[in-house]
Amino acid sequence: MGIRDWLFRKRQEPPEAEQVQESVRPAARRVAARAIVLATTVCRAYLEMQRQEIDNDEDIENADELREVLLSWPEALGISDELEPQERDLLQTPVGTLEQQNVVKACWRAEGLGVLAWALNRFELPPCDEPNIPPDRSQQSVGWGNPALAAELLKSAVLRPQAEIDKLASHITVVHWRLRQFRLCPVPMDYVGYLRSHPFFKERWLQNLPIIDRDLAIGDKAVADAPADVVRTCESIAVERAIAAYWLRGDDPIYSNVDPSTILSGA
């Protein structure tokens, strides 16, 4: 399979976001529960990162006691059933013994947390070229560390209109597609012209899309002129935000099963 064929292969999901059945979209309370779980796992990942600076047994013991608190948090809120097996394993693993790849993966979940907090009208999502770091504002927005606020969110959560969520999913798809394509073929392109000529083009694809020299912009530069490490970071941001956005629109009831692959016909 050539690169062009690979880029345009179709996923098995419905081709239009609007055609996703409403019944498979997660309810507001479940979005709140998933956001709190993500906030918890992100905190666990940062706890592991801080472990590298701990140099005495007492502090290590205190850090692991905090991990136990993290593990009890979902149960105390009555949302332990929202924990996926790998998330439960993450919280059950003693501080200092997590594999680095699991730490990194959990840290990046902060981007999905930002999307869910935004969908709950609790957080202003940064642009796609700005990571949700540090994630404390998005964590606090869904009640992390504040049992009363978290319980109230679970009780009275309200989602943004589906049209807004679908529009965000389209935006992330258009951004992610270009970043993935640039990784495979790192040259400038007339992305605006390409999008307008696409058979599935919708005007919303260009709304709020950062453009310089008719190509996707990263900061104040076109993607081909942006630093390579910044472009890689932006692609990682887009992947995690796509997972959250596609979960919100009902691609898969299990968060970690959502496929972040992008095709423009589904945007």
Domain map (residue ranges) of the chain: 3-22+161-266, 27-156
Distance CA 174, CA 240 (A): 14
pLDDT at 15 over 50: no
> Can you tell me which residue has the tokens 């007339």?
190
Tens of pLDDT, residue by residue over 21-50, are: 444 899 999 999 999 999 999 999 998 887
User: What is the reported pLDDT for 130?
Assistant: 95
User: What is the reported pLDDT for 56?
Assistant: 60
**What's 225's DSSP letter?**
G
**Dihedral sign computed on CA atoms, order 237, 242, 245, 248:** negative
Distances (CA, A) of 194 to 31, 82, 162, 183: 35, 41, 27, 17
Pairing outcome for strands 221-222 and 215-218: antiparallel
Q: What is the Cα 186 distance to its own chain's centre?
A: 24
Closest CA to 190 of 212, 172, 158, 210: 212
pLDDT at 170 over 90: yes
Tens of pLDDT, residue by residue over 185-221, are: 999 999 999 999 999 999 999 999 999 999 999 999 9
pLDDT at 61 over 70: no
Half-sphere exposure of 119 (CA within 13 A, CB side): 32
> Can you tell me which residue has the tokens 């996707």?
216
pLDDT at 17 over 50: no
